[in-house]
Every structure is written in structure tokens, then in C-alpha cells.
Amino acid sequence: SQTIHQWPATLVQPVGSPLSLECTVEGTSNPNLYWYRQAAGRGLQLLFYSVGIGQISSEVPQNLSASRPQDRQFILSSKKLLLSDSGFYLCAWSVPPEGEGIQYFGAGTRLSVL
């Protein structure tokens, strides 16, 4: 069966420090991968998505970047964190086209930038 791993669960980082969040998927090949950010009590904002290795599309211009070095690995990075980068970050995957766009989410990373 397919599983998705996202870590760490919680992260506290100082302003100006770098960031690396990792997400890996098991049990499926060539998935679409997604990074979302969720502010407290709000909906999800799509940050990046990827349809294949090395293919990254950015939805929101910001202080973050994403990479997909392997088929089932998706990394969210920043060189210098801002206070506004605080939030709940979620990774998700889907299997096009037979999956009908249903997305499966990781447990999330709560990032606090202080």
C-alpha cells in the first residue's frame, strides 16, 4: 500500500536560518507531488507542485523553493526564513490520471519562525 512520510512534525527556527523539509512517498511510481501551507484556522495554499523528477511549478512567489531529486522525494527549502514563513506545511501526492485528482496527505510540519 502507498504511504507518505513527512518530517519533522514540529520545527522551531530563527529568522534568517535555512529550511529543509522532506517528503517521501512509498508504494507508487511517478506520482504528482504537492507542497501546501496552511495558516491557523484557514484553508490550504498551494505552494509548489511537481509532475516528474526535476519538474517544479511554483504557484506563489515567495521565499521558498522546492526540488524533486528523485521520483518519490519532494523537498521544500529556504535559504533565509522570514517570520511570515511560519505555518503548517503539508505534502501530498496523487496518481494521474486514474486517481481523479484525489490527493493523499502527510501528517504535516508545524514551522515556527522566531
53 belongs to the binding site for another protein (CB under 8 A): no
| Candidates 14-22, 47-55, 68-76, 78-86; binding stretch for another protein (CB under 8 A) | 47-55
Q: Which of 22, 44, 53, 58 binds another protein (CB under 8 A)?
A: 44
The set of cell numbers assigned to 77 is 527549502
Task: Work out the burial of residue 88: count CB atoms within 10 Å of its CB; fewer than 13 is exposed, 13-18 middle, 19 or more buried.
Answer: middle
Rule CB under 8 A: say whether 98 interacts with another protein.
no
Answer yes or no whether residue 100 interacts with another protein by CB under 8 A: yes
Report CA-CA distances (Å) from 19 to 2, 84, 95: 27, 13, 28
Q: Which stretch binds another protein (CB under 8 A): 14-22, 36-44, 61-69, 79-87?
A: 36-44
Kindly list the distances between the CA atom of residue 26 and the CA atoms of 5, 48, 85, 89, 110, in Å, as whole numbers in the listed order. Answer: 8, 20, 28, 19, 22
Residues that bind another protein (CB under 8 A): 6, 32, 34, 36, 41-44, 46, 49-51, 57, 59, 88, 90, 92, 94, 96-97, 99-108, 110
